Structure formats: C-alpha cells, structure tokens
Structure 1
Amino acid sequence: MKTSTAHARSGLSKYRTIVVSIALFIVFDLGVLVMNFYISSQITKDAIGVNLAGRQRMLSQRTAKTLLQLQNATQNSGDVEKPLEELRKTFNLFDGTLRSFNEGGQAVGGDGKPVILERVDDPAGRAAIEKAFAVWTPYREKLQPVLTGDVPARVAALPDVVSYALANNVQILDQMNFLTTALEHMASAKADRLRLIQVGGITLALMNFFVILFHFIRQLRESDAMAEAARRETQDILESVSEGLMLLDRDLKIGDQYSRSLETIFNRQNFGGCSFPEMLREVVPEKIYKEASDYLDILFKEHVNIKLVASLNPLGKVHAYFDYGQQSKYLAFQFSRVHNKDRKLFHLLVTVKDITAQVMLENELEQSQKQAEEKVNMMLGILHVEPPVLREFLDRADRSLREVNDTLKRYGSKRRARDDQYGQVLQDIFPIVHTLKGEAALLELALFVDKAHAFEDTISELRGRANVSGDDLLSLTVKLDKLMSDVQAVREMVERITSLKETFDPAPATTEAASVKLPKVASVAPAPLLASDEFQRLAQKLADDQGKQVSLAAHGFETLALVGEAAATLRDALVQLVRNAVVHGIEVPQERTRAGKAAAGTVRLHAKAAADGYEIICHDDGRGLDAERLRAAALKSGRWSAEELSGWDEHRLRGLVFESGLSTAEAVTTAAGRGVGMDVVKRKVEALGGHLAFATQPGHYCAWRITLPGVLGLDQLGFKAA
C-alpha cells in the first residue's frame, strides 16, 4: 500500500509543473473567454441601439413626408387611408423606440421582431434624447387628433401639424444623429477594451505555452526512451510467440505491431493498416466472412458480455484457403477486448492459431470412429438374417451390381455416344437397382434399402435432365463403388460371424455306439426362396410405414417345384406385387371405414397348379386401379397431352401401369414413387416365360395373375414305379 502511494506521489510531482502551467493556461483562457463573451454581448446590444437610432432618423423624415401626403390627399379628395395607415405605423415605431432609449424596455427591431433596449446613460446620448423629447412631446400631442380623431377633427388639425413638422423636423433629425453618434462611440470604446483584453490574454497564454512546451519536451524525451525500451521488449515477444497476434481498432484496421508468426500463418507480409475483414474475405467462404463481420460488430459493443457470445464465434475453427485455393489450413481465431485506463473499449486482441495438424488428427479419429460405428450398425442390421439366406442375397446383389457396372462401362466407353443412349443406360440400370432394394426390404436389410434408395435418387435426378452426358454418369460410379464395397464388407462380416460360431459351438459328443461314420450334411438348412413369412414381414413393415393395417395370407408355394435363379426371379416379382398392393391398393383405416370395409386390408398370395403349368394370384381388397388417377399421372409426366389422353378408353389407361417412370404416388419414398414397379414385374415374369394379367374393380379390389407354363407342382411330377 505504501509503495503504491509513493508511486502515486512520484507521478504527481513528476507532472506538477505541467499541471500547474496547464491550469494557469485554462484560467487565463477562461478569463479572456468570459470577458469576450460579456463585452461581445454588450457590443451586440450597442449595435442594435445604433441600428435603431439610425432608423429614428429615417422615421422622423418619413413622418413629415407622410403628413404632407395626407394633407395633399385630403385637399384633393384622394385616398387618405393609405398615408394615414403609414403615418400611424411610423408614429408608433418612432415613439416606442424613443421611449425605450429613454427608459429602457422593449422595442420593435429592424426585422419586425421585439428587442430589448437598455436605458441610455451616456451623457451625450442623454442630452440628445432629452432635447428630442422636448420637440417630440408637443409634436406627438398635435398628431393625436390626426391619428385617432374623426374626419373633421383630422382635417382641422392637419395644417397645424404639418406646419409644426416642417418647422421642427430638422431639429429632431439632428438629435437622432447625435444619439446615433453617441451610441457608436460607446460601442467603439467597448471594442477597444475587448481588443486590449484579448491581447493581454494571448500574451499570457503564449508565455504559459512556452513554459508547458519546455517541460513537455523534456518529459517527452524521457517517455520516448521508456517507450523505445518497452517497444523492444514487445517486439522480442511478438517475434518469439508461435500464435499470430494483432490488434484491431474500431475501424477493424490491423495495428502496426503484430507477431512474426502471423506472416507464416497467412503467407503474406505487411499487415499494418490492412483491413482485417478484407484480409479475412480472401481466405474464408463468403458466408463465414459475413458472420464474422457481424460478430466483430457485436464485440465492439461494450454492453455485450464477451463470455456469453464466445460460443457464437464463427472463426473458432475455420477452413481457410490460400494461393487461390492451392493451399488450405485450419485456423482458430480468439478475440479479447483491450481497454484503456478509463476502462473504455480501445482495441480487440486477435489470437490466431494454425490448428491444421490437430484438425487432421481429429478427422482421422472421427473417421475411424464413424467406420467403427458403421461396422457395428452393419453387423446389428444383418444378425436377424440366417447366414445362408444372407449369402444368397449377397450373391444376387453382387451379380446385380456387376451388371450395373458392366452397363456403365459399356456406354462409358463410347466417347461419342448420343444423348439418347446415355438416357437408355439409366433406363436399363434403374430396374436392377430397384429390384435390389426390394430384395433388401424383404429381408429387412435397412442398410442396403437406404443405399439403393439413394442410388435411385441419383438416377432419377439424371433422368429428369433434358440432356445427359457421359460425364454425368461419373456420379453413379461413386455410389456404385460404395455399394459394392458394402456388399463385400457384409460378406466378410458374415464369414467372420460364421467362423466364430463354428469355433464356439461345442463339438457333438461321440460314443462307441455312435462311432459309425455318417455323410456330412449342412448344419443349417437354407431357407426356402418363396417363404410366406418373408412376404408377411414385408407387408407388415410397409403397412407400419404407411400408417395402414394389413394382413397377408400365402398358400400353395410349398408345392411349387421352382428353385435357384428362377425362384429368385419369381420372388422379385412377388415382392413388387406385395409392395404395390400395400402402398397403392390398401387404404388407410379411416378411408376403409368410410367405404364400409374392415379397418385392416387383406392381401392374398395363392399359388396353384393349372392346366398348362402353374398360376399365382396376388389379390388385395383395396381401392383398385383408378383410370382417372392414371390419366392425371400421365398428364403430369408430360409425355402425353390432355387432348391425346382424353381419347383413351379405360382399358388403354389401365395399361399405363406398365409404363416406366409413371407413378400415382404423391411423393417419392423408399416404398413407392419411382414408377418402376409393374414394368419390373412384367420383365421378371416374361423372363420366366410366363404371362402377366390383371383384373380390378375400382373401390373394391385389384388382382394380378402370373401364369408360368411348364412349371409343375410337386404333385404333378412324373413319378414311375421303382
């Protein structure tokens, strides 16, 4: 405490001479200013008096002139009102002003506004006023009948007044001249006094100024020496720190002192005086630049708590680009307020760190964690499927994706292929991807459903373009490569799971009685390709997603003698039929109730032997095929005009269900909206050598029949006696 008090006393004694000199300087200046103000106000009042005294001379002459005009108008029967009104106005101005000079008070100024005149106390001025009153008093009495009397009184009094005016007008004029001269002398004396005061004040101020200048120069030299030492210390610090440091003023200009590391971070030199926002604009995206500008404005508002807005800092971690995008870094900016000794916000201290290495490490860790999570999610997403069934799906998925890849390669190698050929490749691969999504949905493999749906999104976007080039197909190859990698990853995971299961399953106990060698059989029988429970799960999941209630019944598939690729193809077709029945056919419970139906819809899959093969029917008790909805969807697609569609009958309109890319769904979802459903079914059935037909009654049902010639049931096989 004693030390701080001693420092305070030392500081006061150090600047005592300057403080005293400045105080004297202020006292002198204030004294001169007060005197200047007082005398100037007096001179201003005197100037008004001089002006009005001069006006009195003019008014005395105007009074005499107006009397003569009034006499002439009266004698010649002219208009007396105008000169009479002028006489009254002149009289009032002269009389009121003269009284104000004599007694002090309010008078009418030259601009018509009221002014205050002080009583004239100067001897010469008083003498002139008294002599003027001696002449004016009888003059004023003679004017009263003329100004306020009736016409006879005015006519009778007018000759006497005119005679008095002509006899005494010069005397009144002389006295007003004397008054004006006296007032001018008073004003001139005050001006001389003011100049004397100003000269004395300036002389004292100059003397005091030289005293201050002497002490100031001496103190300045000492301060410069101390500042130079502090500057060298600051420069040493700025050259050694690894962070970029700089100060911003309220105009967001960078100060001349900044750390050497700043040049390394920003790949440039000479920051002093540069605009920080403009420098920032060169290296960060426009959105970040605008957010940073707003944030800096907030920081310079002293009422804002900087700790509360620290989380809003858009430059906390920013990706910056240098050398026209050839080099990039991750930078972290921190802002601190710098106050002066009066606790006023003075600068912003900006700290910049190059955190590229840290961010890269974080990204690597995040990517590793993400990959680990994806693998865990992938594993959790396949555990519900038996390995043999999953292997079969992966084999078909691999074949499908390779078919897509071969198609892209085939068209991609044609450098001069026509635009319609690139459109055709999209047409060719879309059903393949859609079928893959259907198979994944049947097994509830959400991973492949989502990725296949995203693949479909990309294809749909390209199909919607007016022109498709070979370069546009590159985006498909990226998604295809990722999807093929996922298939391989799941395959490897299945093999590891199977291996672990075989490792930890206990070996069956053997006995001497059971030591006979038996042929090896598969430990897990593969699930049938046309298992009814799979279709039931698919229908239930679709119904849950759509907010519907559905029950599915399947019969007759256990006797169908169809295996391998043919059974897989048929299953793909049935998956699409079930999907179509639940999504497009079955109504939501409220709609079914209004139509007098049960809240839960029913889908039936029935397989039976026919005369020339096998027949499969998919029936739903939903809304059926609505020809008008198909007409509206066709018109919305833009392929046909309203005039063309108006001439189509109901049969032709219903045939639109086989048009690729045409859908009655209101929005695209993983379940519907692509318009590649029934054309895929038709292709699959025809690939089996079969036929597809349908029957419908709007509002009641829709049924699809697949006829497979040459396909037999188990009870139709040609058995022969052994």
Structure 2
Amino acid sequence: MATTNNIDNKRYQGLIISIALFLSLIGALLAFTFYTSSLLERNTALIDQTNQVANSAQAVIKDLFDLESSYGEDISSPHIQRVLTRLEENTALITNSLSAIEQGGVITDNLGNRYQLPNISNDARLDVAEAKEQWNVLEPKIQTYLKDANNIMVSSADELAQAVDQAKTSSLFINESLDKLTRDVFSNAERQATTIRLIQVLGVAAIFAYFLIFVFFFVRRLRETDAEALAARRETQEIMQTVNTGLFLLDKDLKIGQQHSRALNKIVGEENLAGENFTNVLRGRISDKDLNTTKQFIEQLYNPRVKEKLVDSLNPLTKVLLHNTSGTGSDSRFLDFKFSRVYEDKDIARILVNVNDVSDAVYLEQRLEKERSQNDMQIEMLTTILNVKPKVIHEFISNTKAHIEKMNNILKNPGSSQYELEAKLKAIYRDMHSLKGDASALKLHSFTKIASDAEDKLSALQNQGALSGNDFLQLAVHLDDLLSLSNTIEMLGERINQTSAASTKAAHTTPTATAAGVRAAGAIDSTPQANSQVIGSLDFDEGEDIDLDDESDSHLLAYYQDFAQDIASRQGKEVQLNSATLEQVQIPERLKKTVKEISIQLVRNAIVHGIEPPTDRRSAGKPSTGNISLEMQSVGQDFIVSLQDDGQGIDYDSIRQKLVELGRFSLEEAEQLDRNQLLKQLFSSGFSTKDEADEDGGRGVGLDIIKTQVKESNGKLNVNSELGEMTRFVITLPKAS
C-alpha cells in the first residue's frame, strides 16, 4: 500500500503545487490590498487633518476678532467663555496637528479613533514648515492673551490687540501654506491610489490568467485520470462479475463495502448487500453463539497486536451451515469464509472476505465419512462375529430386538399423567442402559454410541421437570438406528455362516481320488478336521440347525474378564476379575438374560464406583490392581449371583450429600436416613454418586436395572459393604417361574 500512496502523491504533486501557487497569488493580492487600504486610510486621515488644521486656523482668527469686538463684555458670560474655550482648543489642535503632520505621528479624531499619519513628501514638508513658521509667531501671542483672559483683575487688551494684529498678518501665509499642503497631500494620495489600482488590475488579470491555464491544464489531466480510473473500474467490475467466489470488504463497523462480486448475492442468497451490516446478514442464519464468536473474531482481526495467522485458526465461519430464512432463493448451504487484513501503510484499513460455497465438498465429505463409518461399523461387527461364539451373538441380537420391541411398546402405550410419563421414561431408560451394556461388553461401539446419545436425551427429559407425550418422539430415531444395526450384524453373521457351511460341504464331498491327489501333492488337507481349524467356531454344515442351547456357559469367564478390562481401560483403572464357578456353571435357560444383564451391571458398577484409581489404592496401602470376584452357582431351587470387590466401599455420607445437592432431601432430612433407606436411594432411578456421566456410568440407571430385574424375577438382593475395604452384592433368583 505504501507504493500506491507514493504513486498517488507523485500524480497529484503538480496539482498541489499549482493550487499552492494560485492561493499564494491570491494571498499576496489580498495582502497588498489590505496594505493599500491602510495606506489610503492614512492618506485620507492626513487630508482630513490638513483640512482640520486649516479650518482650525480660520476659527482661531475668527475667535480673535470676535473677542476683540466683544472686549469689555463680562468675561464670565457664556459667549466669552465659549469663545475662549474654543480658541484654546483650536490653538492646541493646530500646534499638535502641525507637529504630527510634519513627523508622521499618531492623531486622535473627535470620536477617539487613533490614526497613524503617513510620511509626507518634501514639497508638503516645506508647506508645513511655512505654516508652522507663521504659527510659531502667532501662537505665543495667543497664549499670552489666554494666560490672563479669564482674570478680571488683569487687563488683557494689549495682548489681545497684539494677537489680532499678528493674526491679520499670519493668517494669509498660514492659509496659503495649508492650502498648498492640502493640494500636495491630495495629489500624492491620488497618485498612490492610481498606482494601487493599476497593481490590483494587473494582479487580478494575472490570477485570472493563471486560473484559466490551471483549469485548462488540470481538466485535461483529470480527464486522463478519470479515463484511467474508469478503465480500472471497468476491469474491476469485470473481475467482480466473473469470479465464482464471493468477495467483499468489511470496515470496523462490520459494514459490507459498496463493491462486491456478483457471485456473492447468489452464494449468500441476498440481493442488496452493499452497505449492509454483516451481522444482520448472518443473523437468524447461523446460531447466536456463532454470530457472537464471529463479531469477536473480526474485532481481533482489527487488533494489530494479534497475529493474523494465529487468529485465522479461530475462524468460526469455516464450512458453516448457512440457513435460508427468506423462503426464496437458494436452499441452506455450507459456506466457507476466509478473512484477510487490508493495510494502508501500517494500519489495518479493511478486512477482505472471500466466501466459497463448499456444500458439494461438505456433502461429499459427509457421504465419505458415512461410508467410512459404515465400513468401520461392519468391520467392527465382523470382528465381533469372528471372535465371539455364535451363541453370544445370537443372544445379543435376540436381546437387542427384545429391548427395542419393549421400548417401542412402551412408547406406544398411552399415558398422559406425569406419573405415567415418568414411569415410561424410567422403563425406557432401563432397557436402553441394558442394551448399551450388552453392546459395550461385545465392544460394539456403534451400538454403544447410539445408546449413549439416546441416554443423553433421556437424561435431559428426566431433568426437565414436566413431561409431555411429544417429548418421547425423538427416541424413535434411535430405536430405528439400533434395529438397523442389529439387522446388519445378523445379516453378516448369516453370510459368514453360509460361507462356512458351503466350505464345509465342499470339503466333505471332495472325491477320494482328487483328495488323495491333492494330499500327495502336499497342497492342502481337505479333511473336515483341517477345515474346522480354518473356520474356527463357525463350523456348521449347510442346512444344519444350530442348537445354541447345547453349548455350555464355559465362555462366561473370558467374556466378563474382557468386558472388565475394557471398562477399566476407559476409566484409567487396573482390575482383575476372577471366578471359581463361571467355567463350570450352567445357567437356567429362563434366567440367562436376567443373569447376564445383572452381571454386566454389577461388573460395570464395581469398576466405575468401587475400584479406586491406582494412585488412590497405593495411597491407601492397597495393590494398584483391584480384585473383583464374580461367582454364579445353583443351590437347590435358587440360582445365586454374587460379586465382591476390594474397592472403597459404599460411602453413606457421600450419598447423603448427593441427595441434598440434587434437592431430593433437605440437609436435616438426609441426616435422619439410615443405611437401608440410603441404599434404597442408591438403587433409585436417576441417582448416581458420580459427578459426570460417561459411557460406563454416572446416569443412575445400572443399579435401578438390577433392582428391577430382581423384582421381576421374584428374587432377593443383599448388599454388604465396609468403607474403604469392600462391597459385596448377593442376588438370589428362583429357578422356577
């Protein structure tokens, strides 16, 4: 920008100099005019003064004659006093005026105005000298008379007679000298006036001529400049109309400049943008939070102390979704705003904004991301299918569909009262949490993510207070997503099973001769046993029914250990899950789903709430790895599930404090609760001692699920805990329905 300023300064340097000369000429002419006006004023004052001296001289002579003719009259009469006063004043005036005229001094008129008299010419000086010579003879005689004129005791007739005789002689010479002086002063003033007029005429003519030259020369220069500016503007307009991006300038008040690219209107979806406030254009089309952030971001761009590259990384309008609120024009789209500083010298003058419609690119990214997520999800599911027994997968799909169907039926059930709506909410919450637990145990994070999002909405509904039937509509989308995922994993399992069965069948039907030939060549062992090693646990014959009930529950120990390690890794803890019974236990078919849900919730609860972080355990003198014991056994008509951890135990005081914080009880009421009552609160829906919810806990649903499952199975629940030492859950479930 500095180079451009230098070019502009050179371009207008001649214009500036010419205007300065023109103004200097006018200033000089005005100064000369002021000077000549002052000179003429002084000449006029000189002429007036000479006339006044002449008139005063005539008045003096007249007054002397009047006094002589009135001699003998009472000197105190008004007539005599007036004449004497006038004679005295005129005498002093003539004396002072002649001296001022001769020396070019300062005079004061009757109104009190002071004037500086000009220096007179030599001829005028001679005239003044002659008049002054005669006056110097007359003036002493007048002063002698005036000395005793008012004294009635002294006769002043002789002095008056001498003054009158001298006045008769001197008056002619004085009048003649003053007349000559007046003529000389007037002639001199007239010559000066003529010279001044000539100089003024010449000055005006010179200024006018210079003005004409100036206008002619610079009008031509301005035409050339206008032509260049017009050509540059035309080029700019052509660029602005041609570029496919939105370009405009922003000032400090966030107003859009008058010039912007034509594509901007189409991209933004507004017609009249010039002069509009940028925030008004965006208001209602992006969130208020993004709008406030945008204003702060632009303010930082105008802050010279902030580096542009640093603040550019904070741009809130990168690939932002701009909603269409007008109802006409383009649909909502993704726009990408780039902001750059425009400098004038070292100052930030404007912000250049470059806007691009990146909707296609964003939609492509979203589609690719969706496809990538689907691929990752299928890989995740495929990994689960290949590494987990078909029985577990079958149980998960069956349980998932059962949970979804149950939640769907709950949503369909009518209910209008707050009690009914809250009951529906708690029931859905429990099923969603159970489903999430099953998915998390199999490391199906896609299921877990959808279930966690649904739990966030359920938690928000639980905290909002009053409920309505419409509040539950948003959950239908999550149920549909979960059902879709369960269908996908079921489909993948079926394809793998079909492939496995086809491979097994082909192996069994291989001709003996061919098989022998292949074995002789050392290529592959086509016996069923060899193929079983390749396929692993998914070894079925085509068309063979899978009897999942015939499989034992010996996999449970590895299943829960893997589940425990997965949770501990997310929670930053170290655990070891042990069992002496899981590898031999046979869970009754009626209780398999119930036992699984209860066990999952118990293991998660033990790791999240019971086992301490390694540093805390070492501080308490414990080994850094926490121990969890999960046992299942059949005793008579009952099936017993027990879990014990060597964690921090149940802190009943913390439960009281949390109940007060949540507003369920006052401080006094909480202090009155015994341990059994506090345990009931611990198992209530929505209560958790964890401050923040995450994938593994903190929503207050896990223990509620255990309580509900035990109650529905007509079982018993027993809890034993020692603070800082252990917690033990014992659940007894009847085998028979």
Are 1:400 and 2:399 matched, yes or no?
no
Q: In 2 relative to 1, CA 123–420 (structure 1 residues): closer, same or farther, beyond 3 Å? A: farther
1:384 is matched with which residue? Answer: 387
User: Of 320, 323, 326, which residue of structure 2 is paired with 1:324?
Assistant: 326
1:208 is matched with which residue? Answer: 210
1:472 offset after TM fit, Å? Answer: 1.4
1:600 offset after TM fit, Å? Answer: 3.2
How far apart, CA to CA, are the structure 1 residues paired with 2:15 and 2:555?
A: 109
Q: Deviations over 1:520-561 (max 9, x none)?
A: 675997462872222222233333333433332223345555
Map 1:173-572 → 2, pairs under 5 A: 200-214=202-216, 237=238, 241=242, 243=244, 254-255=257-258, 259=262, 274-275=275-276, 277=278, 280-281=281-282, 284-285=285-286, 319-322=321-324, 324=326, 327-328=330-331, 330=333, 356=359, 360-361=363-364, 363-380=366-383, 382-411=385-414, 414=415, 417-503=416-502, 507-508=507-508, 526=551, 528=553, 531-557=556-582, 560-572=585-597
Q: Deviations over 1:610-640 (max 9, x none)?
A: 4554444322333333332332233333222
2:682 is matched with which residue? Answer: 657
Q: Deviations over 1:352-398 (max 9, x none)?
A: 66565565555444544444444344444554323332122111111
* Amino acid of the structure 2 residue aligned with 1:277: F
1:454 offset after TM fit, Å? Answer: 2.4
How far apart, CA to CA, are the structure 1 residues paired with 2:627 and 2:580?
A: 14
CA contact (8 A) 1:691 1:707 kept: yes
How far apart, CA to CA, are the structure 2 residues paired with 1:203 and 1:461?
A: 90
How far apart, CA to CA, are the structure 2 residues paired with 1:530 and 1:418?
A: 46
How far apart, CA to CA, are the structure 2 residues paired with 1:640 and 1:499?
A: 59
User: Of 652, 655, 658, which residue of structure 2 is paired with 1:627?
Assistant: 652
**Partner SS for 2:474:** helix
1:667 offset after TM fit, Å? Answer: 2.8
1:644 offset after TM fit, Å? Answer: 2.2
Give the paired residue count. Answer: 558
* Amino acid of the structure 2 residue aligned with 1:30: S
1:425 offset after TM fit, Å? Answer: 0.8
CA contact (8 A) 1:529 1:571 kept: no
Q: Deviations over 1:685-706 (max 9, x none)?
A: 3333332223333333322222
* Amino acid of the structure 2 residue aligned with 1:486: L
1:645 is matched with which residue? Answer: 670
How far apart, CA to CA, are the structure 2 residues paired with 1:24 and 1:538?
A: 91
Q: In 2 relative to 1, CA 292–480 (structure 1 residues): closer, same or farther, beyond 3 Å? A: same
**Partner SS for 2:465:** coil
How far apart, CA to CA, are the structure 2 residues paired with 1:609 and 1:290?
A: 64
1:674 is matched with which residue? Answer: 699
2:521 is matched with which residue? Answer: none
CA contact (8 A) 2:36 2:196 kept: no
TM-score (norm 1): 0.61
How far apart, CA to CA, are the structure 1 residues paired with 2:698 and 2:23?
A: 89
1:617 is matched with which residue? Answer: 642
**Partner SS for 1:456:** helix
* Amino acid of the structure 2 residue aligned with 1:493: L
Map 1:120-139 → 2, pairs under 5 A: none
**Partner SS for 1:328:** coil
CA contact (8 A) 2:403 2:431 kept: yes
Over alpha carbons, which structure has the higher Rg? 2
CA contact (8 A) 2:404 2:483 kept: yes
Q: In 2 relative to 1, CA 40–388 (structure 1 residues): closer, same or farther, beyond 3 Å? A: farther
CA contact (8 A) 1:247 1:258 kept: yes
CA contact (8 A) 1:455 1:476 kept: yes
Q: In 2 relative to 1, CA 310–652 (structure 1 residues): closer, same or farther, beyond 3 Å? A: closer
Q: Deviations over 1:547-596 (max 9, x none)?
A: 43333222334555534342221122122222223333333344444444
How far apart, CA to CA, are the structure 1 residues paired with 2:618 and 2:450?
A: 37
How far apart, CA to CA, are the structure 2 residues paired with 1:301 and 1:652?
A: 61
2:729 is matched with which residue? Answer: 704
How far apart, CA to CA, are the structure 1 residues paired with 2:14 and 2:650?
A: 104
1:684 offset after TM fit, Å? Answer: 2.0
CA contact (8 A) 1:587 1:623 kept: yes
Structure 2 residue ranges without an equivalent (≥5): 1-9, 42-102, 104-116, 126-190, 517-526, 529-540
CA contact (8 A) 1:570 1:685 kept: no
Are 1:587 and 2:612 matched, yes or no?
yes
Root mean square deviation, CA, Å: 5.6
Q: In 2 relative to 1, CA 23–496 (structure 1 residues): closer, same or farther, beyond 3 Å? A: same
Q: Deviations over 1:638-675 (max 9, x none)?
A: 22222223223334334433322222223323222222
Structure 1 residue ranges without an equivalent (≥5): 1-11, 48-101, 103-119, 128-188, 713-722
1:462 offset after TM fit, Å? Answer: 0.7
CA contact (8 A) 1:238 1:245 kept: no
1:433 offset after TM fit, Å? Answer: 1.5
**Partner SS for 2:387:** coil
Map 1:53-68 → 2, pairs under 5 A: none
How far apart, CA to CA, are the structure 2 residues paired with 1:346 and 1:623?
A: 64
Q: In 2 relative to 1, CA 196–302 (structure 1 residues): closer, same or farther, beyond 3 Å? A: farther
**Partner SS for 1:605:** strand
**Partner SS for 2:664:** coil
Q: Deviations over 1:47-98 (max 9, x none)?
A: 9xxxxxxxxxxxxxxxxxxxxxxxxxxxxxxxxxxxxxxxxxxxxxxxxxxx
1:151 is matched with which residue? Answer: none
> Which stretch shows the higher mean deviation, 701-710 or 478-487?
701-710
Q: In 2 relative to 1, CA 532–319 (structure 1 residues): closer, same or farther, beyond 3 Å? A: closer
